[in-house]
Amino acid sequence: MNSTHGMIKAQIEDEMLVTYGEDFTDDTNLFEAGIMDSFGYVQLVGFLQDTFGIAFSDDFILTNVMVSLARMTEAVEAQMQLAQAS
């Protein structure tokens, strides 16, 4: 697993009191599993933007709802590539 994935995973574990492999996997819908609430989601989006130096546009966030670790990792990497390309 790459560092982006690992950093996001660690943040979820710390902030949401869960253990990877036990409480969630890459594809677990974190909302439906009761792991992520509105506060946690807002915190996490802030963490992703601050940590990886990216900014999600409203359009992007509406079309890329980051409900799982895998979706978050993809979204961050896509935004980072976009930033590098521009």
Of 1 and 55, CB closest to another protein: 55
Task: Please tell me whether residue 33 binds another protein under the rule CB under 8 A.
Answer: yes
Please identify, among the stretches 3-11, 34-42, 77-85, the one whose residues bind another protein according to the rule CB under 8 A.
34-42
Of 57 and 84, CB closest to another protein: 57
Q: Which value, to the nearest 10 degrees, does the dihedral of the CA atoms of residues 34, 1, 77, 64 take?
A: -30
Task: Please tell me whether residue 6 binds another protein under the rule CB under 8 A.
Answer: no
Angle of CA points 16, 20, 24, to nearest 5°: 75
